[in-house]
Amino acid sequence: MARDIDIKEGIDWPTIWIYIALLGMGLANVYAAVYNVDNPKSIFSLDHNAGRQILFMAVAFLLIMVILFVDFKVYDTFAYIFYGLWIVVLIATIFLGSDIKGSKSWIKFGSFSLQPAEFAKTFTVMALAKFLSTQGVNVSKLKYALQAAALIFVPPIIIILQKETGSALTFAALIIVLYREGLPGIYPALMITFIILLILALVFPNWAVVMGLALAAVLFWYLILKRYERTTQNLQRMIGFFLVFASFVLTVDFIINNVLQPHQQKRIKVLVNPEIDPRGAAWNVTQSKIAIGSGGFSGKGYLNGTQTKFDFVPEQSTDFIFCTVGEEWGFIGSLVVIGMFLILLTRILSLAEKQKSKFARIYGYGVASIIFFHLLVNIGMTIGLMPVIGIPLPFISSGGSSLISFTMLLFVFLKLDAHRSYKV
Contact (Cβ atoms closer than 8 angstroms) between residue 334 and residue 393: no
Sign of the torsion angle spanned by Cα atoms 128, 12, 404, 381: negative
Please classify residue 146 by burial: count the beta carbons closer than 10 Å to its beta carbon, then call 0-12 exposed, 13-18 middle and 19+ buried. Answer: exposed
Q: Rounded to 5 degrees, what are φ and ψ at 302?
A: -60, 130
pLDDT value at residue 424: 45
pLDDT of residue 145: 93
Interacting residues of 231 by C-beta distance below 8 A, sequence separation 6+: none
The predicted structure's pLDDT at residue 284 = 75
State phi, psi for 305 to the nearest 5 degrees. -75, 120
3-state SS of the chain? CHHHCCHHHHCCHHHHHHHHHHHHHHHHHHHHHHCCCCCCCCCCCCCCHHHHHHHHHHHHHHHHHHHHHCCCHHHHHCHHHHHHHHHHHHHHHHHHCEEECCEEEEEEECCEEECHHHHHHHHHHHHHHHHHCCCCCCCCCHHHHHHHHHHHHHHHHHHHHCCCHHHHHHHHHHHHHHHHCCCCCHHHHHHHHHHHHHHHHHHCCHHHHHHHHHHHHHHHHHHHCCHHHCCHHHHHHHHHHHHHHHHHHHHHHHHHHHCCCHHHHHHHHHHHCHHHCCCCCCHHHHHHHHHHHHCCCCCCCCCCCHHHHCCCCCCCCCCCHHHHHHHHHHHHHHHHHHHHHHHHHHHHHHHHHCCCCHHHHHHHHHHHHHHHHHHHHHHHHHCCCCCCCCCCCCCCCCCHHHHHHHHHHHHHHHHHHHCCCCCC
Q: Note the pLDDT of residue 3.
A: 47
pLDDT 10s per residue in the chain (424 long)? 344 556 777 889 999 999 999 999 999 999 998 888 777 888 888 888 899 999 999 999 999 999 999 999 999 999 999 999 999 999 999 988 887 766 778 888 777 788 999 999 999 999 999 999 999 999 999 899 999 999 999 999 999 888 888 888 899 999 999 999 999 988 888 888 988 898 888 778 888 999 999 999 999 888 888 888 888 898 999 999 999 999 999 998 887 777 666 766 666 766 666 655 555 556 777 888 888 888 889 889 888 887 777 667 777 788 889 999 999 999 999 999 999 999 999 999 999 999 999 999 999 999 999 999 999 999 998 888 887 788 899 999 998 899 999 999 999 999 999 987 654 4
Distance in angstroms (rounded) separating the CA atoms of residues 390 and 182: 32
d(CA 84, CA 63): 21
Residue 165's pLDDT is 81
Q: Strand order in 103-109's β-sheet?
A: 98-100, 103-109, 112-114
